[in-house]
Amino acid sequence: MIYNIFIDGEAGTTGLKVASRLASHPHVHVLHLDAAVRKDMSARLDMMAKADVAILCLPDAAAIDVAKAASTMDVCLIDASTAHRTNPDWAYGFAEMDAEQRHALASSKRISNPGCYPTGLIALLRPLINSGIIPPDADITVPAVSGYSGGGNAMIAMHEAGDLAPHLAYATDLAHKHVPEMQLYAGLDKAPLFMPSVGNFYAGMLVHLPLHAHQFSTPPTASSLYNLLRDWYADSALVAMGADRANDLGGQTSMAADSLAGQNNMELFVFANKDESQFWLTARLDNLGKGASGAAVQNMNIALGIAEDTALV
């Protein structure tokens, strides 16, 4: 069976990546609007009426507007913006989050695609909180770095003009828009201290979770944390450990942020110091892949009842 898919915002960074992934998808046909009417609400709604799934690759305000306009339509909406991520009426599109999430996505007509940074943090922290070894009231710090494509067309243009610094920190007001979904879906009682930054590379990211042994209900070992995460994602096609054991870089001498650029999977790592009083957990992914367009295609597959890794591996 062939399904009709409409990408609202197909000319943007995420929209182009979604279209690229769907080009090789055996079960979908992508509907296109003429460039002259891509911002015309009536034309977009007409296209949604013909679609089985519409993927919204829009700024937050525009995504809210089109979701309201399409509120009575039966089309499945997948919103790649931040707008609906903490809205209980929208299923959160991180399928690997827990055992029930795939069912929630398969049965929902409104799906919010996760943010790239939250995808990494939730993958690392939610299993620890749900397993009871980290309390929900823990003080959590999240240093992270992303490729400059995460800043959209404006930051890409800065790079092309030679105006982008080799490495820059931002969101120093501690009010990054990803923090609410990090807190909600990781299972925290209070907001994590999020420290994002951008490197001078196109795509890829590292999301770090530093922890002290005293933060755990029972002090773990690096191996026990590795095994917990490995078992949590054992049935996942797109999330796995990046090495065969804890304290291992998977045969590499360092951890490059862009190693998964262009891919749709996520790798997890666990490190500890010699006496295991400090732990360093890391998620590595492509901010445009598993952190955006790849996740949107995965969620589309789940919503349509297709194998979730179709066109992604």
* pLDDT tens sequence across 231-243: 999 999 999 999 9
pLDDT in tens, 160-211: 899 999 999 999 999 999 999 999 999 999 999 999 999 999 999 999 999 9
Tell me, what's the pLDDT at 4? 99
Q: Classify residue 74 by burial, with Cβ atoms within 10 Å: 0-12, 13-18, 19+.
A: exposed
Measured CA to CA, the distance from residue 66 to residue 68 in angstroms comes to: 5
Catalytic one of 116, 164, 241, 312: 116
Tell me which CATH homologous superfamily contains domain 3-114+291-304: NAD(P)-binding Rossmann-like Domain (3.40.50.720)
C-alpha closest to that of 148 among 178, 126, 168, 123: 168
Residue 181: the pLDDT is: 98
Please tell me the predicted confidence (pLDDT) of residue 141: 99
- Answer yes or no: are the C-beta atoms of 297 and 18 closer than 8 Å: yes
Fold category of 116-287 in CATH = Dihydrodipicolinate Reductase; domain 2 (3.30.360)
Q: Please give the Cα distance from 91 to 299 (Å, whole number).
A: 10
Global pTM exceeds 0.85: yes
Catalytic site residue 57? no
Q: Residues 6 or more apart from 283 whose CB is under 8 A from it?
A: 119, 120, 121, 123, 124, 206, 207, 209, 266, 267, 268, 269
Q: How confident is the model at residue 31 (pLDDT cuts 50, 70, 90)?
A: very high
Task: Return mean pLDDT, the chain.
Answer: 97
Please state, for a pLDDT cut of 70, what percent of the chain lies above it.
100
Is residue 48 within 8 A of residue 75, CB to CB? The reply is yes
- pLDDT reported for residue 222: 98
Q: Give the residue extent of every domain in the chain.
A: 3-114+291-304, 116-287
Q: What is the pLDDT of residue 224?
A: 99
Residue 115 pLDDT exceeds 90 = yes
pLDDT at 251: 86
